Copies of this chain bind each other. A is one copy, B any other.
Amino acid sequence: MALPIFASDALSSVAYAPQELLMILLIGGTAFLALSPWVAGAVVLLLIVVVLSYRQLVKAYPSGGGDYEVARTNLGETAGVVVASALLVDYILTVAVSVASGVDNIISALPELAPWRVELAVGFVLLLIVMNLRGVREASRAFAFPTYLFIGSVGLMIVTGLVRWALGDAPTAASAAYDVQAVDLSQAAIVLLVLRAFSSGCSALTGVEAVSNGVPAFRAPKIRNAQLTLTAMGGIAIVLFAGLTLLALVAGVRYAEEPCRLVGFDCSQPQPSLMAQVAAATFGGGSILFFVIQAATACVLLLAANTAFNGFPLLGAVLARDGYAPKSLNTRGDRLVYSNGMIILGAAAIVVLVVYRANLTTLIQLYIIGVFVSFSLGQLGMVRHWRDVLRTRGGRRHEARSGLVINALGACFTVLVLVIVTITKFTHGAWLVFLAIPVLSVLMIGIRRYYRDVEHEIAIDDPGDEQVHYGAAGDVAIVLVNRLQKPVAKAIDYALAANHDTTLALHVAVTKDETDLLAEQWREHRMPVPLTIVESPYRTYAGPITAFVRGYRERHGASVVTVYLPQYIVGHWWENLLHNRRARRLSQQLMLVHGVSITLVPWLLDSSALIYGRRSRPLPGADRGGGRPAPSASFGLVDHVSDTAGPAGR
């Protein structure tokens, strides 16, 4: 069961890696395709080394922190933050690339959808956001099916195609007839082109690191099972990648960066993906198996995008826990998922998809840099780890030595590939990633410093320093009154119940009519607290109130001032739009005044009583005339006013 969950990311890259590899070679002309077995072989070799290296990492750091933890532990804070930034960027690009490739494969099967490429891609991301916000854990068993279907159907296609080839009836792609005119290239340009093809092929490696982040989710023996999964995943990825590349060469598939350069191709049409061309050549373009393969490919790609929706929020939460990211990333939403991280990931992926018009070839240029940054730093960290083990601990020297060799090899390979990828992709758009990673890193270190400063600021340094002051000052409660209505009456009720030294009501006179009416009602109702009226020449509220508070403190000496504000509680989010923000803005401004605290006295409006009523304790007592519920003896009188907005009698 672990395979489908972790493998969809790694395996899905088979859907685009061979295509992009061949496409880059084809820039040089059809003749360059002869180089593809060598380039593909290099990618396979790299894949083997990386899988072996990660088997070591999983063993040494089984806690699920992955490259971030390895780099942070062994290479210091900066390396850890850089790895984290690289991974965050790459999670975003995983979503963008996988969705773009998935949409490509859908369009290859249903070309009439071509005009809605961007809309489809954005739609899928929105779908992933909603699914993940609602919590898809329970559906993870359903994830197994498309992955196995993908492995099975693509495997069947490779076997069928190669058998037909062996029998002399090699499948032929429709595009085999098209030709690309050779370009005159210098020696250096040829080398660069081959390296670019290799860089693009390396996108097959993405997702290998997923297992190392998920070790805690494995069944015991965790490490052993994680290593087995890694090996199985690597094996399948190599078979599919090599087989698909070979079959595409056999079938003579031509996939061009600029389709119009394909002589004979109607380039106003969308170019079918390599997967679709191979499937059509092997099974026939209208066959059921063709559609099965396209559907399975699209599903696996969307699953791969989905894994980023697990990884990104989890990494965000780890970073928040360590103080490198806003704490809200470590807060679980209503359905116990890290909803903020999911929304950020989805929004970023949508921006990327819209800006790059969901164009796979352009997106691939940005991709895998982040992966190789984290690969490289992770492997370097592992080298450091084994060296430390060798230096300090006596036992297990043999294990540490073999680990050192493997991870040193891994580090050499991944650093080399990182250099190649950087050289070949930088001017093709990857500079943006090279800008994003340091910016994110600096931001994270800044956030960490900010939290440390706040922590330092609010720490109580000196025991016995503060409790001498408790409760020594004067105390006054000010109830803000706009009109004499039930919420205000309840606020006065509460203020009186709290036994403040002084309680008074304050009204800001904005229009004379309302003020006169209030003063009259105040007398008429024989309100138990005195009403103070302050003038507001500029029709503002906060100014006169803060002036009054300051003046009061000057006249009566230092006192704690508690300002009582009635606060509406509504049942529907849209009702918030209809209630004035005045109370909130007022409280924000009042909190800046020395010695002031704000007491919010909630008033549940009808709609909220209907919605939240069931949550609070049901009221005893029946209606007693006029539709008002009877005050409950056990609740006492103070509750009475609030009870009228309660669930009873509605």
Residues of B within 8 A of A470 (CB): 492-493, 496-497, 528, 637-638
Choose among B525, B577, B597 the residue that contacts A464 (Cβ–Cβ < 8 A). Answer: B525
Which of B486, B492, B569, B636 has a CB less than 8 Å from the CB of A473?
B636
Q: Does A639 contact B (CB under 8 A)?
A: yes
Q: A472 contacts which of B469, B527, B595, B638 (Cβ < 8 Å)? A: B638
Cβ–Cβ contact B617 & A447, under 8 A? no
Which of B457, B460, B569 lies in contact with A525, CB distance below 8 A?
A: B460
Whether, in the assembled complex, A134 has its beta carbon less than 8 Å from a beta carbon of chain B, the answer is no
Determine the residue in chain B with the shortest Cβ distance to A454: B605
Residue ID in chain B nearest A446 by CB atoms = B578
Contact between chains at A466 and B489 (CB < 8 Å): yes
| Residue A359 interfacial (CB < 8 Å) | no
- In the complex, A471 has a CB within 8 A of chain B: yes
Cβ A558 vs Cβ B636 within 8 A: yes
Q: Give which listed residue, B484, B602, B637, contacts A597 with CB less than 8 A.
A: B602
* A513 sits at the interface (CB 8 A): no
What separation, in Å, do the CA atoms of A580 and B525 have in the docked complex? Answer: 43
A165 within 8 A of B: no
Tell me whether B642 and A594 are in contact (CB under 8 A). Answer: yes
Give residues of chain A (376-407) contacting chain B, Cβ–Cβ below 8 Å: none
Q: Which of these, B461, B463, B498, B604, contacts A560 with CB under 8 Å?
A: B498
**A416 beta carbon closer than 8 Å to chain B:** no
Is A596's beta carbon under 8 Å from chain B?
A: yes
- Interface check A37, CB cutoff 8 A: no
In this assembly, does A94 line the interface, its C-beta being within 8 Å of a C-beta of chain B? Answer: no
In the complex, are the beta carbons of A467 and B527 less than 8 A apart?
A: yes
Interface centre among A559, A581, A606, A639 (most CB of B within 10 A): A639
Known: A464-B525, A500-B498. A581 touches B453 (CB 8 A): no
Residue in contact with A460 in the complex, picked from B457, B486, B635, CB distance below 8 Å: B486
Contact: A498 with B569, CB < 8 Å? no
Q: Known interface pairs A578-B326, A636-B474. Does A560 touch B494 (Cβ–Cβ under 8 Å)?
A: yes
Tell which of A104-112, A191-199, A273-281, A585-593 binds the partner: A585-593
| A471 nearest CB neighbor, chain B only | B496
* A606-B497 in contact given A578-B447, A592-B612 (Cβ < 8 Å): no
Residues of B within 8 A of A466 (CB): 486, 489, 493, 525, 640-641
Residues on B with C-beta less than 8 A from A605 are 454, 457
Shortest CB distance A376–B (Å): 30
Q: With an 8 A cutoff between CB atoms, is A536 at the interface?
A: no
Contacts of A626 in B (CB 8 A): 461
Residues on B with C-beta less than 8 A from A464 are: 525-526
Query: CB of A268 within 8 A of chain B?
Result: no
Q: Is the CB of B472 within 8 A of A486?
A: no
Asked if A468 is at the interface of the complex by the 8 Å CB criterion, the answer is yes
A471 to chain B, nearest CB (A): 3
Q: Mark A485-529, 1 if CB is under 8 A from B, else 0.
A: 111010011101111110000000000000000000000111110
Which residue among A450, A458, A638 has the maximum number of chain B CB atoms within 10 Å of its CB?
A458
Copies per complex? 2
**Known contacts A494-B560, A581-B328; is-contact A637 B457 (Cβ 8 Å):** no
Residues from chain B with Cβ under 8 Å of A477 in the complex: 498
- Residue of B575, B597, B603, B638 near A494 (CB, 8 A) is B597
CB atoms of B467 and A639 under 8 A apart? no
A606 and B453 contact, Cβ closer than 8 Å, known pairs A498-B498, A525-B460, A558-B636: yes
Cβ contact within 8 Å between B331 and A580: yes
Give Cα A402–Cα B168 distance, bound, in whole angstroms. Answer: 100
Q: Chain B residues near A558: list those with CB within 8 A.
A: 634-636, 638-639
Annotate A323-354 by CB proximity to B: 1 below 8 A, 0 otherwise: 00011100100000000000000000000000
Q: Which residue of B lies closest to A332 (CB)?
A: B539
- Residue A160 CB within 8 A of the other chain: no
Chain B CB count within 10 A is highest, among A635, A637, A638, A645, for: A638
A616 at the interface (CB under 8 A from B): yes
A631: chain B residues at CB < 8 Å are 469
Contact of A562 with B by CB under 8 A: yes
- Mark contacts of A267-291 with chain B using CB atoms, 8 A cut-off: 1 yes-contact digit, 0 otherwise: 0000000000000000000000000
Would A497 and B328 count as touching, CB distance under 8 A? no
A-B contact pairs, 23 of them (CB 8 A): A328-B580, A457-B486, A457-B605, A457-B645, A458-B486, A458-B603, A469-B638, A469-B640, A470-B496, A470-B497, A471-B499, A473-B639, A494-B560, A497-B560, A550-B617, A558-B636, A567-B591, A591-B600, A592-B616, A595-B639, A595-B642, A597-B600, A599-B600
Question: Known pairs A450-B578, A464-B525, A470-B528. 20 more at Cβ < 8 A?
Answer: A326-B577, A454-B605, A466-B486, A469-B637, A470-B493, A470-B637, A471-B497, A473-B638, A497-B559, A499-B501, A558-B634, A558-B635, A560-B638, A592-B615, A592-B616, A594-B617, A594-B635, A597-B599, A598-B600, A599-B600
In the A-B complex, list the 6 residue pairs whose CB atoms are closest, starting with the nearest: A469-B637, A471-B496, A558-B636, A591-B602, A473-B638, A473-B636
